[in-house]
Structure 1
Amino acid sequence: MKRKYFSSVAALLLTASILGACSEDDQTIEKGENAHNVKATGMPIVEESIQVDGFAAKFFASQNWNDLMLWDEYEKMTNIEVDWKTVQIEGLAEKRNLMLAAGDYPELFFASAFPKTDLIKYGQQGVFLPISDYIDEYAPNFKKILEEYPSVKKGVTMPDGKIYGFPAFYDPNFEALRAGTPWIKKDWLDKLGLEEPETPDELYEVLKAFKEQDPNGNGKADEEGWGTGYGINQFIGYLRGTYGLNKQGSMNINLDFKEGTEEFRFVPATDEYKELLKFLNKLYTEGLINQDIFTTEPHVFAAEASKGNFGMLAEVDPAELLNLDGYVGVPVLEGPTGERAYNTVSNGLGNLGMFVLTDKAKNPEAMVRWMDYFYGEEGSKMFFMGFEGVTFEEDEEGNFKYLETITDNPDGLNVDQAISEYLTWPGGYYPGMVRKKYFQGAEGKENSTLNAEKVLPYRIKDEDILPGLNYTLEENEKVSAVMTDVQTYVDEMTAGFITGNQDFSKWDDYKKTLDKMGLESYLEVAQGAYERSKEEE
């Protein structure tokens, strides 16, 4: 993303160095003016009710967050009323940035997806409060996550040693949310006497057969190969491990280590990436992947894919997404050098800035407790399942499921639309912890679980996943100055090589252009950030 930074970097870095020179034990944390009103445990959170100004991004325009069951019920539990102002997700970044620039911002931002650059910038300016000052005393659920998953603690901690945002966190034991391969039409394989592909070459042959041998038996050449509505990175992500890329996971998607070292290389400039693109070029030029992949939108592609003419789909289980049965997960492929790995995996840490408190917050202790509830079991259940007898029921085995009014809505609403009349999670923008037990999206269903189990033997090990790099303000300026243009160029050339608009004989010229754009300086900054993170362990 393109970001602009304030010019007072030197002063802010000086502030950071002063803060960094003091241990947290040496600092006296100032209590909020109403801290005496906050209970240490249990509900309500505050003895006397309070009202707080909040801003949030929402997915459905029809939602009124000031009249939504989730927040109405939580207010009754906590004695805390949030006066919500909301914006559609599409307009979030502009609205959020304008509010901060004008100084006209609320006490808290929820589901507002602040990037790391904003967390450190506004944190060191004092606009965002360091929630790390309150975690020990007021956030037992989040504290437990940090203790259990050190890489998460490293990921959320900024270079000044502070934590400024509550993140989205996906339970690392929820495998279907972490790793899954594309989906292939099993009856087409059976009809043509084919096995599930195990290598890129076998995948090519399968897709070619799908397109040319009439597996649906209607006598028309209407079958398609592999499709997605979410862009070419869906395909690249599946194949990274197959071609020996990203052996440190996907938290730093453009970086992995040179073999046998801890020195970064730039993934899109490697020979392995070139070979991956050559394979996708072969598929594209022979019409085996959807030709509008670089321009189509998800809803447009979904309408086309729902006809059932694609032999392979890159999204979540087509049975859940498109009401198309008969698809199974494709195996992780063995690459040309014998690699068989699935590496596009994170440590479970999503956006870091999904909940922040500002310097206008009069009740920081209460609001840290308010947010922390959603990292615990009961909070997760309420956030994703809602309310027993209204949105869900529990069976004798202790499993939770939505009521038929949600899953088979009498007004013809799909699940996301129906549940959004009570809850806010559809759309994927939220802080808190996602647990399989309470998550009713496609990834929580049996087919996705089977897909994830197929991937697991080849999935990158958790201990090998490198947390996201956190940069200082000065480093952020350097990275942004280089990578804004570099990423645009990489995306353009990736599309060019795949479509054939760029010949692979130009690969060396492509790499030279990257060097001229300052790639080496980016790698130096990234390496420095990595070395610093090791020293902090």
Structure 2
Amino acid sequence: MIKRRKAVRKSMVLSLAGLFLVSAALTGCNSGAENSPASDKPSGSADSNAGTSQSGGAIDHSKPLTITVFDNAANYQGEQTGWYGKLVKDKFNITLNILAPQVAGEQLYKTRTAAGDLGDLLIVDNSQLEELIPAGLVMDLSDKLKDTKYLSQYVDKHFKPFNSGFDQVNPDGKIYGLPTFEADTSPTTFSEEIPYSSPIMPWDYYKGVGAPKLNNLNDLLNVLKQMHEKYPKTPDGKPIVPITLWKDWDGGSMENVRWLSNWYGFEQPDGTSTIQLNAKGDIVPLVDDNSMYKKILQFYFNANQMGLIDPDAMTQDWNKVSEKLTNKQVLLLWYSWERGFYNSIERGKNGDGNVAIPIADSHIIQSSDAYYGNGRVFAIGSKAKNPERIMEFMDWLVSPEGLRYYTNGFEGFNYQKTADGKFELTEAGQTAFQNNTPVPDQYGGGGYQDGQSKINSMIMSDFTIDPETKEFYNSNYWNTTLEANKTALTTDWQSTFNAKNATDYYQKNNMIDIVPNINTSLGTDSSDVKNKRSQISDYVKNTSWKMVFAKNQAEFDQLWTKMQKDVDGLGWKDVVAVDTVKAQKIVKMRADALANK
């Protein structure tokens, strides 16, 4: 999916019904047409209401256009094919050619910026936008937004406040970037039924070993061991692993450690790599002996000593992990949308699916809905030759039609209209992602999952209201889905934990801090700090993996002590000082958001 964090870095969530919705780091889900399949005609045709240029004339779609999309959120590189590719081609006569640093490597950004042309349509991190503005590599969209049909309604509430945060490089308050995954709720609301990161396990396997209460991480390891002993393989003979890890999401630190730190109240803010932050505003360096980063490293080390870590962990990538999730080969999940690879309403009727299993001593930190976005932006490269057509495409992405296709697929295939004008998932729609269901030829053929949007990011998120149904675009929160999802799985869980969902449970038991989602520029690193950060990050990541797989506790401790000493020689104090300033800005903005809510 959305890979992680970089988007939150993947902040996409999964449905109560278990459908995968975009977030990270999976491939993005897509949404349905206004009321019909994709038109066979481009949007500039006579029967289309799209296709007006900024000068007021019709946009010419007669010539095919290939848009180079530089996309930090993408887990795929190459031409967008499949049903979404056909949709965009038929509607706009556009082909999307995706460049993905997650596939090609982070050097791709340096190479293309040095050449003065990052791409046509850009999905980049906030910190990168702050570099691209003074370098003249992104367009000013202020005037272009005025004549858009859908984007224009978000200018004052969303786009202007975000871009004003780049005042050092954008003193005139121009709009260069459109933040990703913005919710249209409020800056302090959390709408989802499960935190982004929390312990999640198969309900039937957990009950199969007596559903013991989990008081701490040691209890979690013990129950994982019991489950693995009882359920070593899937019904079709595939090996089950208690815990799986993967390297290709690692950024400034080991990603699988970073996100489990959230279970105990500490996050690592995007744009930082040396500190963690809690809801109170406490800032703790990663290599501090009392850091949550060390606590989670110790947890993974203990797990490996007990034989609970996937033997493929050191070599596999996210694609391999997603296959295992689809096959129910992993016992511990930690990101909400991971459930969607397996969960479905039909399985839920049999009490089968991945659910939240709280740990009594945990206290989760969770950001509110991304009202101002979540760390990345859509932008247009300064050398794009057809900015009007790119703007038209982006405007469509936030239209009801564009949002329905991105989040829910095709009306009539993935979902259908009810008698009262609402939407409900079809039987095929409930499992189209997991089963890679064949798409009818009229929509482009191929597998549904294969053909999803490889952009893997949105401007407005599925936590905006569809004007036709007055419900979120996110199908997990449709009334029809909520009713359909009253299965043996959900009702049994609700009865056991006396809560309507995981978020409700954590709130009732004072086990979660929901903090305002802050999306702003935290400043760019000087070249000196950037070099030091790169060296430190590589060292911390490599050592973290070695610690997880250390042969004994003595080697674990030795590696930790050596890392503390070695990073100091790489300029640790300088980078911590920079990251501390960034964290302090977040703390202040959160306090302001709470004071003004």
**TM-score normalized with structure 2 length:** 0.63
Matched pairs, number: 474
Is 1:358 aligned to residue 386 of structure 2?
A: no
Q: CA deviation at 1:70?
A: 2.9
What residue in structure 2 maps to residue 45 of structure 1?
A: 52
Is 1:54 aligned to residue 100 of structure 2?
A: no
CA contact (8 A) 2:125 2:375 kept: yes
Larger helix fraction of residues: 1
Is 1:487 aligned to residue 507 of structure 2?
A: no
Candidates 438, 445, 468, aligned match of 2:473: 438
Is 1:169 aligned to residue 219 of structure 2?
A: no
What residue in structure 2 maps to residue 507 of structure 1?
A: 560
Q: CA offsets, 1:459-482, max 9 Å, x none? A: 43233x44454324xx34233111
What residue in structure 1 maps to residue 125 of structure 2?
A: 115
What residue in structure 2 maps to residue 190 of structure 1?
A: 207
Measure the CA separation in 2 of the matches of 1:331 and 1:482: 40
What residue in structure 2 maps to residue 519 of structure 1?
A: 572
Measure the CA separation in 2 of the matches of 1:532 and 1:188: 44
- Structure 1 segment 338-487 matched on structure 2, within 5 A: 340-343=363-366, 347=370, 349-360=373-384, 368=391, 370-385=393-408, 388-389=411-412, 392-401=415-424, 413-414=436-437, 425-427=452-454, 429-435=456-462, 437-439=472-474, 446=485, 450-455=501-506, 458-463=511-516, 465-467=517-519, 469-472=521-524, 475-487=525-537
Which residue type is aligned with residue 184 of structure 1?
M
Q: CA deviation at 1:487?
A: 0.8
Q: CA offsets, 1:297-347, max 9 Å, x none? A: 334345556665544344657774147952342334344xxx522447784
User: Structure 1 unaligned runs (5+)?
Assistant: 1-41, 76-80
Change (3 A) 1:118 1:395: same
Q: CA offsets, 1:96-148, max 9 Å, x none? A: 76555445676x31xx4333454233321323113246556658646637626
Which residue type is aligned with residue 157 of structure 2?
E
Change (3 A) 1:127 1:433: same
CA contact (8 A) 2:139 2:381 kept: yes
Change (3 A) 1:194 1:512: same
Q: CA deviation at 1:491?
A: 0.8
**TM-score normalized with structure 1 length:** 0.69
CA contact (8 A) 2:265 2:278 kept: no
Is 1:333 aligned to residue 385 of structure 2?
A: no
Measure the CA separation in 1 of the matches of 2:284 and 2:141: 34
Aligned-partner SS, 1:513: helix
Q: CA deviation at 1:429?
A: 2.3
What residue in structure 2 maps to residue 210 of structure 1?
A: 227
What residue in structure 2 maps to residue 296 of structure 1?
A: 316
Measure the CA separation in 2 of the matches of 1:188 and 1:65: 36
What residue in structure 1 maps to residue 261 of structure 2?
A: 240
CA contact (8 A) 2:193 2:502 kept: yes
Q: CA offsets, 1:367-401, max 9 Å, x none? A: 54652443354542244345544764222344435
- Structure 1 segment 266-305 matched on structure 2, within 5 A: 266-272=285-291, 273-303=293-323
Measure the CA separation in 1 of the matches of 2:287 and 2:367: 14
Measure the CA separation in 2 of the matches of 1:484 and 1:154: 28
- Structure 1 segment 70-89 matched on structure 2, within 5 A: 70-72=87-89, 74-75=91-92, 82=94, 84=95, 86-87=97-98, 89=100
Measure the CA separation in 2 of the matches of 1:390 and 1:303: 24
Q: CA offsets, 1:3-48, max 9 Å, x none? A: xxxxxxxxxxxxxxxxxxxxxxxxxxxxxxxxxxxxxxx7442333
Measure the CA separation in 2 of the matches of 1:268 and 1:435: 37
What residue in structure 2 maps to residue 14 of structure 1?
A: none
Measure the CA separation in 2 of the matches of 1:408 and 1:274: 39
Q: CA deviation at 1:195?
A: 2.4
Measure the CA separation in 1 of the matches of 2:302 and 2:151: 49
Measure the CA separation in 2 of the matches of 1:284 and 1:345: 34
- Identity, in percent, stands at 14
CA RMSD of aligned residues (A): 4.8
Q: CA offsets, 1:218-256, max 9 Å, x none? A: 9x997643335577956534531444422x866756434
What residue in structure 1 maps to residue 196 of structure 2?
A: 179
Choose 234-243 or 94-103, whichever is displaced more: 94-103
Measure the CA separation in 2 of the matches of 1:228 and 1:417: 36
Measure the CA separation in 1 of the matches of 2:459 and 2:201: 33
Measure the CA separation in 2 of the matches of 1:296 and 1:311: 17
CA contact (8 A) 2:364 2:513 kept: yes
CA contact (8 A) 1:159 1:470 kept: no
Measure the CA separation in 1 of the matches of 2:314 and 2:231: 26
Measure the CA separation in 1 of the matches of 2:522 and 2:444: 34
CA contact (8 A) 1:182 1:330 kept: yes
Measure the CA separation in 2 of the matches of 1:327 and 1:405: 18
Choose 286-295 or 144-153, whichever is displaced more: 144-153
Q: CA deviation at 1:167?
A: 3.2
Change (3 A) 1:515 1:334: farther
Which residue type is aligned with residue 311 of structure 2?
Q
Q: CA deviation at 1:488?
A: 0.8
Change (3 A) 1:329 1:238: farther
